């Protein structure tokens, strides 16, 4: 039985989910939410008849704070924390990711994410691509899925996928969108990862932002890929025309909001998307991607 727990970060419902699965060995979590919402997740666990101490296994899609910020809290209660090899060192010593996040979020760090502490080495279990973990009655397979972050896994079992951020953000009545964030956005890898997920032919897809995808999984993946391509080309053309970051930020915010509305999002949904995945991050991410990987395409 899969339960979608709402972290209610900053008191907002339906933005950041923690996915919980009941197993013979207690509760398995997929992502933990940030540390600032640990108490809310504990309350959600009580709602489903469990406690934070019942969480024995935590599978992390990647180590961004909205996904893994509370991993250390569950580790302190004895949970094993599974993570991509390139994410593991940041769990053991978060100083570097705290520094880089502080450059983006500044004084908002504590309010958004809470406290960041290292995860003890004995709780960290590194998973390579295609590694399988047995937690009866399930077998979870990790698939390396880069594009959003280099250290990103999705997890597959039975007919179900926990998709992390690579399979998009879909809130309220809105369409799925790809969260472009710096510094590791890579368009070609993103498309390859979507192809890998598509090949699993899963019936159920769970998103950290937010919950079970209603309707066809393949239609959802197609819609994510269409935006990965269209948005990246939108950026390429503007950067080529010489637009700078300060010009692109309001322009992209408007472009994205129109795209969301056209896809069925209400005004409130659009604000939720902005909370889950701020549009300015896409600007920084796309500029970096084009200049680093295809400089010839963005030279006027
Ligand atoms: Zn992320």
Q: What is the pLDDT of residues 3-36, one digit of tens each?
A: 999 999 999 999 999 999 999 999 999 999 999 9
User: Could you report the per-residue pLDDT of 165-182, keeping only the tens digit for each?
Assistant: 999 999 999 999 999 999
Distance 173 CA to ligand 1 centre (A): 21
In the prediction, which pLDDT does 300 show? 72
CA of 300 to the centre of ligand 1 (A): 31
pLDDT score for 274: 96
Residues of the chain with pLDDT under 50: none
pTM for the structure as a whole: 0.97
User: Distance, CA 172 to ligand 1 centroid (Å)?
Assistant: 19
CA of 25 to the centre of ligand 1 (A): 28
Kindly list the protein residues that place their beta carbon closer than 5 angstroms to ligand 1, a single-atom ion. Answer: 64, 165
> Which domains, and CATH codes, for the chain?
2-224 (3.60.15.10), 226-297 (no CATH)
Spatial separation of the C-alpha atoms in residues 119 and 130, rounded to whole Å: 24
Q: What is the pLDDT of residue 105?
A: 86
């Amino acid at each position: 039985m899969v339960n979608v727990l709402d972290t209610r970060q900053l008191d907002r419902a339906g933005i950041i989910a923690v996915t919980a699965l009941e197993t013979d060995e207690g509760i398995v979590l997929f992502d933990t939410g940030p540390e600032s919402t640990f108490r809310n997740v504990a309350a959600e666990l009580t709602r489903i008849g469990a406690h934070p101490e019942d969480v024995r296994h935590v599978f992390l899609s990647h180590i961004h704070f909205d996904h893994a910020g509370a991993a250390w809290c569950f580790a302190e209660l004895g949970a094993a924390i599974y993570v991509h090899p390139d994410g593991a060192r940041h769990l053991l010593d978060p100083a570097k990711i705290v520094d880089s996040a502080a450059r983006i979020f500044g004084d908002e760090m504590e309010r958004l994410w809470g406290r960041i502490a290292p995860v003890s080495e004995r709780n960290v279990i590194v998973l390579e691509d295609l590694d399988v973990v047995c937690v009866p009655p399930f077998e979870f397979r990790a698939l390396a899925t880069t594009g959003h972050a280099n250290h990103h896994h999705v997890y597959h079992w039975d007919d179900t996928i926990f998709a992390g951020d690579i399979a998009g953000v879909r809130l309220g009545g809105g369409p799925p969108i790809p969260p472009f964030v710096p510094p590791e956005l890579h368009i070609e890898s993103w498309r390859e990862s979507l192809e890998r997920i598509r090949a699993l032919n899963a019936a159920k897809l769970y998103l950290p932002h937010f919950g079970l995808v209603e309707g066809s999984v393949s239609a959802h993946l197609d819609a994510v890929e269409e935006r990965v391509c269209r948005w990246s080309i939108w950026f390429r053309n503007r950067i080529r025309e010489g637009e700078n970051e300060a010009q692109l930020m309001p322009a992209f915010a408007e472009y994205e909001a129109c795209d969301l509305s056209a896809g069925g999002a209400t005004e409130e949904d659009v604000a939720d998307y902005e909370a889950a995945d701020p549009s300015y991050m896409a600007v920084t991410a796309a500029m970096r991607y084009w200049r680093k990987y295809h400089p010839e395409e963005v030279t006027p």
